[in-house]
Amino acid sequence: VSVTFPRGFQAAGITAGLKPSGRPDLALLVADQPCEAAGLFTTNAYPAAPVKLSRSRLAAGGKVKGVLVNSGDANAGRGTTGDRDALSTTAAAARALGVEPDQMLACSTGVIGGAFPAGKIEAALPELLGALSPDGGASFAESICTTDTVVKLAQAEVGDIRLGACAKGAAMVEPHLALATMLVFFATDAPTGSNDLGELARLALKPAFEELTIDGCKSTNDTVLLFASGAADAAPVQASSPRFDEMVDAARAMADSLTHQMAADAEGGTKVLLVDVRGGGSDAEAQIVAKAIANSVLVKTAIFGGDPNPGRFVQALGSSGVAFDPAGATIRLGDVVVFSGGAVSPGYDEGGAAHAVVSAPEITVSVDLGPGLGRARAVGCDLSYEYVRINAEYTT
Amino acid sequence: VSVTFPRGFQAAGITAGLKPSGRPDLALLVADQPCEAAGLFTTNAYPAAPVKLSRSRLAAGGKVKGVLVNSGDANAGRGTTGDRDALSTTAAAARALGVEPDQMLACSTGVIGGAFPAGKIEAALPELLGALSPDGGASFAESICTTDTVVKLAQAEVGDIRLGACAKGAAMVEPHLALATMLVFFATDAPTGSNDLGELARLALKPAFEELTIDGCKSTNDTVLLFASGAADAAPVQASSPRFDEMVDAARAMADSLTHQMAADAEGGTKVLLVDVRGGGSDAEAQIVAKAIANSVLVKTAIFGGDPNPGRFVQALGSSGVAFDPAGATIRLGDVVVFSGGAVSPGYDEGGAAHAVVSAPEITVSVDLGPGLGRARAVGCDLSYEYVRINAEYTT
């Protein structure tokens, strides 16, 4: 199931020997017939070679056969050599699948500036194609993982239309990596065009994934790809139709589920931190505040330690740079008001109420900035010894 | 010496029982005669009560007798109660010193939202005043410390003019605190006006302290205060005079020394990280890049682990949001080029050259963005287990 829950897709995941660990590392998702596709990509000034390739192929229009994913090397920070390798591996996959080279997209995750194993990938293509199956979603989801400890899956039905998705991240890919790559694959059998699919991505997926912040680090490889096979027995879905709105709602719920799954599986993470902000001049301002709190290392270490001290949240709120009336803001841990009227609430932890909130595996911090229609959420996690260990102890 | 190196000042530091540890916690710096003064303050939306009080008294003009500092409680996040306590304690000090209440400034550092010990402070004033001495700079510097493991001192002479300074931070104040407060006190015996002193602060001190970033968290209490007694046997110094420029240079060198001392003593820090950026459209843009690298938790944990992997620096550089030509940027660790032309340099660690750089106690990362006259530095540190322990293990 998962990404192959919708009709018209096949997927596979195998071990091609790209990872020293010997775990699955090469994956392929294809539509039975070239299909509609859309994507969202990292804004890092150093996008990896597969990001540039996929982005430019989608921008050129035309139908897409599928995507080749490897989880052994990021193919990033390699200049034109990286571009050549992204071209050659997707061309080899296209040849094997009998489609045009520009109908194949690519994603990679792994070491930045490493030696991309193009030869091993090309040599493994026959085995990979041989493993393709309409039930291949599970092994696909497993093969895109790096330090992930569980696969991340979501699916939904909207009338006769099916949606399926999987994701990896946003834990860092390997200890010696510089990035916390997120890869997300959405498939649907809705009969819809690539522009409508792009609109679905902007309305349902972009806002959800922008809420996620594991360590505030924007990867060179972050990618969200969407595919629509049109294989459902359903009327065409356009951005103006009610069915489209239902798909947006379903896709948003799937994306929210995936971001929670990723935050819960974050490297070294022991708790999920949700920061809800209301008020402020705009959603964008509310999001700056939410991220300032969710990314504060002082907040993250306090959450790890189960310390409800309101000062940490006050400090982070006050340092966001967003204009608001400080005396009109309220901070809640769960339902407990810990700060309002410019002062920490006396007795906020009476009966251990605030301690109980920050000791739970999922913690919601709510900030009301006072007047203003802004609204935003950040989905983050705590900062633990294990995070430091994973990212410090490995030495290249 | 230190802050009392210039003529015309006395200082003292005592133990008033504000800290559970029993270490010195109350300090006083006064000019023999009410003197010229200026200040720089945190931009946090929740400035502590003493920040508001000092800022408004300096803005009102007039001469200043000195500053009362306590290192037991931040007097922050307490609403109007905090304002009343800042007023009453400075009024009591002014009465004891025989000056007007608005001639006294205040600084605090410690718990946010705690119970400010105004009574203990007022009761300790006779002892504090009794300890005042022209040699009191050392005990003053000691009494403003919190988790600092060493005092931070600097001094200089410009002709017949003396400058002295001390600082605390930017380690967090106590494990259960939400802030990494920096307090800095500059004194000079130069005959100069408060406007010229303010200009000195903007030209020499502000840029230096803005380079410092221990954990990216902006305290509610950060304060830099400057005092000029005029007691030197020297001609008046105005912002237009060559002597003023010499003072600016000397003050900048002192401030640079203090930021290094603070970074080296950062909570849990084991290494100082200097990030130098050249190029980009402006100094402000270069500073965004420098801070993006110095504040990246992936860079900070890599530095802690002694890992020179260029990917971490590439990722941070690419995610700063500043516009530049990615192919034209170069990253160096010490003198070793690790990234240029959009690619990690092959063999960058030949002979262990890059490893040697990141294994040193002070590490310089240089980024050349290509064309552009921008220039900036960030002074930071690594992120260790000890940082997580200090900030997680304490539970209120």
| pLDDT tens figures, A229-267 | 999 999 999 998 999 999 999 999 999 999 999 989 887
Q: How far apart are CA B83 and CA B46, in angstroms?
A: 12
Contacts of A306 in chain B (CB under 8 A): 395
Interface test with A, best of B46, B344, B355, B381 (most A CBs within 10 A): B46
Q: How far apart are CA A32 and CA A9, in angstroms?
A: 6
Question: Which chain B residue has the Cα nearest residue A331?
Answer: B77
Tokens at residue B310, please?
């260029």
pLDDT of residue A148: 86
pLDDT digits (tens, 9 = 90+) for A13-55: 999 999 988 999 999 999 999 999 999 998 889 999 999 999 9
Contacts of A45 in chain B (CB under 8 A): 317-320, 324, 326
Question: Which chain A residue has the Cα nearest residue B391?
Answer: A301
pLDDT of residue A243: 95
pLDDT digits (tens, 9 = 90+) for B229-243: 999 999 999 998 999
Nearest of A74, A342, A129 to residue B47 by alpha carbon:
A342
pLDDT of residue B144: 95
Specify whether the CB–CB gap between B250 and B154 falls below 8 A.
Answer: no
Question: Which chain B residue has the Cα nearest residue A327?
Answer: B79
Contacts of A315 in chain B (CB under 8 A): 44, 46, 112, 178-179, 217-220
Bridge partners, residue A78, by sequence: B343
Asked if B311's CB is within 8 angstroms of A216's CB, the reply is no
* Token pair 């939410």 in the structure block, residue: A290
The minimum CA-CA distance between B359 and chain A, rounded to whole Å, is: 11
Contacts of A313 in chain B (CB under 8 A): 178
Q: A72 pLDDT band (50/70/90 cuts)?
A: very high
Coil vs helix vs strand at B65: strand
Sequence-distant (≥ 6) Cβ neighbours of residue A198 within 8 angstroms: A38, A226
Contacts of A48 in chain B (CB under 8 A): none
Question: Which chain B residue has the Cα nearest residue A359?
Answer: B395
Cβ-nearest to A307 among B80, B176, B220: B176
Residue pairs between chains A and B whose CB atoms are closer than 8 Å? 246
Cα distances from A34 to residues A228, A229, A234, B190, in angstroms, run 9, 8, 18, 79
The pair phi, psi for residue A349, each rounded to 5°, is -105, 25
Q: For residue B107, which amino acid is it?
A: C
The residues of chain B scoring below 70 in pLDDT are 1, 170-180, 215-217, 393-396
Asked if A79's CB is within 8 angstroms of B341's CB, the reply is yes
Question: Global pTM?
Answer: 0.87
Q: How far apart are CA A11 and CA B279, in angstroms?
A: 47
Tokens at residue B37, please?
């003064």
Residue A334, burial from CB neighbour count under 10 angstroms (0-12, 13-18, 19+): middle
Residue B252, burial from CB neighbour count under 10 angstroms (0-12, 13-18, 19+): middle
The minimum CA-CA distance between A272 and chain B, rounded to whole Å, is: 16
Asked if B307's CB is within 8 angstroms of A394's CB, the reply is yes
A181 assigned to active site: yes
Specify whether the CB–CB gap between B57 and B49 falls below 8 A.
Answer: no
Asked if B46's CB is within 8 angstroms of A343's CB, the reply is no
As for the ipTM of the complex, it is 0.84
Residue B283, burial from CB neighbour count under 10 angstroms (0-12, 13-18, 19+): middle
Specify whether the CB–CB gap between A174 and A110 falls below 8 A.
Answer: yes
Nearest of B383, B381, B335 to residue B356 by alpha carbon:
B335
Nearest of B278, B173, B252, B167 to residue B215 by alpha carbon:
B173
